[in-house]
Structure 1
């Protein structure tokens, strides 16, 4: 089993990022540490691969961890921690906020606390709650192809029949994998490969909530997810060189096609490459594989077309 310190450090980052950095984004590395732990655990049968994942997770934490780890022996009851986090998520679950990070941070915190059989002081659990509450009234995201932020918010989903939405995780996983496979070209951009990756992590987070018995959150979170998916569908059939209507604070025209990863995260070469070349994508190196391979397992499919498209999400 991977060292559970990865979970404790991940939770510490998530709970303290608002206090230490004043914003919500350092939490990205806490979620990545938790993803790294569980992805390594999934591959314990290959000890060398599992250790390589752990080593890269530790390298990320050495750069982006927190100095204030949990040391108090008096942990909150797991039920208290869970109810507190879910009470915060209750206030943000029905809208798309920063491409689903309110749901992602909630779900990974909950699975880590369950794995540890409890974690944190009341103050630290409050920090997790405050992180999730910070997403109230925030934008859907800042980088989009074909839609402005205002247009994303106004996207009409009223005609969507709740009965048409997936009713269990394997259906949702199959749906998002088909969405991934539908792209004719994937651009290396926050508005494209990054957004597609977060489609995978957001939907995975909903599946995790379902696994933990929180089925109403699974259902309610699907409309915000569909808002994200519907925007991405507008770029399914882009052609190289085609004019793109881009709305982004960070991406610039012309967008460059994403690189194809030679190695997959289930291969040692992916981790031997070292994942810190791009600091922000260092976290995605763990989060995206954790979600993608979980979707494959749930859908009962390892179709080459899904795996081939995923290579372009993790190419850097």
Structure 2
């Protein structure tokens, strides 16, 4: 198991993130996700948990703090994780976070970060209602509201076209990709995309990390009783998939995708020198949680093995 103190620390990070900007939510969200990965997979070797805790300590120490200008915002990574003042919890108001999310969840916002951050907070507060204080809920609401005018993210379209924001990309109609009719269909499409394209070099729209975590966030909202919000979120994930599919293979420019030799559920994975560039520190942890959340929807053994193999590209 992951030490319980990380969950409280992560929630502080999410509740305080709005003071620095929406992308500052990466830090608290990763710490919360790391804790829940341990809780959901308590039978793994203890070396795995110690490895995850080491990454969480790096996050809390500010090793990946480039998501905002700390000097301009006047908020350091240490400030994000400061405890909130003590208050009486009001768990009956957790739904305010989802109400805030419903204002922006229908379109892709910053590669799904709006719902990824909010869903992790919702689970933490539902599982531990003593954390659901007015300041914690208000902080996550403000973080979520910060995405109201956010674009879909950015994608790299090669040397000639360069980086383009989602609203600049002209997506052609795809009659072979109808709107989702269920959460299961969304999960199936996401896992299929992972299996088919994990070894393809693309850049942008959060990569497969965010497609996976976006899908997981929707399923978690549904699981915790917010079925209406989950249904409202399906078109945004559908758009996210279309944006990902619009990206070209850029292997000739940047080289091939690297694949991990080891499964992150094994002790040996955490004993190697992990790459932490390109935001891998926070995204490795969030995607551990996200992937195994949607992996639970797979019933076919062969497909599960294919997904596990493709997932190793995300863990390199």
TM superposition score normalised by structure 2:
0.82
Give the Å deviation of 1:276: 6.5
1:77 to 73, 90, 111: 90
Distance 1:58 1:274 in 2: 16
Query: Cα–Cα, structure 1 residues 150 and 3, in superposed 2: closer, same or farther, change >3 Å?
Result: closer
Cα displacement string for residues 256-302 of structure 1 (whole angstroms, at most 9, x for unaligned residues): 32211111211112222354632721001111111112211122345
Residue in 1 that maps onto 2:196: 182
Distance 1:239 1:97 in 2: 24
Count of matched residue pairs: 295
What secondary structure, in the 3-state scheme, does the structure 2 residue paired with 1:26 have?
Answer: helix
Residue in 1 that maps onto 2:289: 290
Cα displacement string for residues 128-149 of structure 1 (whole angstroms, at most 9, x for unaligned residues): 1111001111110022448942
**Is 1:15 aligned to residue 15 of structure 2?**
yes
Residue in 2 that maps onto 1:250: none
**Is 1:110 aligned to residue 122 of structure 2?**
yes
Give the Å deviation of 1:156: 6.8
CA contact (8 A) 2:259 2:312 kept: yes
Residue in 2 that maps onto 1:305: 306
* RMSD over aligned Cα atoms: 2.8
Residue in 1 that maps onto 2:74: none
| Equivalent residue runs for 1:80-91 within 5 Å | 80=93, 82-91=94-103
TM superposition score normalised by structure 1:
0.82
Residue in 2 that maps onto 1:45: 43
Distance 1:239 1:154 in 2: 19
Tell which deviates more after alignment, 131-140 or 268-277.
Answer: 268-277
Distance 2:82 2:276 in 1: 27
Tell which deviates more after alignment, 171-180 or 130-139.
Answer: 171-180
What secondary structure, in the 3-state scheme, does the structure 1 residue paired with 2:229 have?
Answer: helix
Residue in 2 that maps onto 1:268: 267
Residue in 2 that maps onto 1:249: none
Distance 1:283 1:265 in 2: 15
Distance 1:184 1:129 in 2: 33
**Is 1:165 aligned to residue 180 of structure 2?**
yes
Distance 1:289 1:174 in 2: 18
Query: Cα–Cα, structure 1 residues 216 and 4, in superposed 2: closer, same or farther, change >3 Å?
Result: same
What secondary structure, in the 3-state scheme, does the structure 2 residue paired with 1:143 have?
Answer: strand
Query: Cα–Cα, structure 1 residues 144 and 209, in superposed 2: closer, same or farther, change >3 Å?
Result: farther
Unmatched 5+ stretches in structure 2? 64-76
What secondary structure, in the 3-state scheme, does the structure 1 residue paired with 2:210 have?
Answer: helix
Query: Cα–Cα, structure 1 residues 44 and 33, in superposed 2: closer, same or farther, change >3 Å?
Result: same
Query: Cα–Cα, structure 1 residues 156 and 224, in superposed 2: closer, same or farther, change >3 Å?
Result: farther
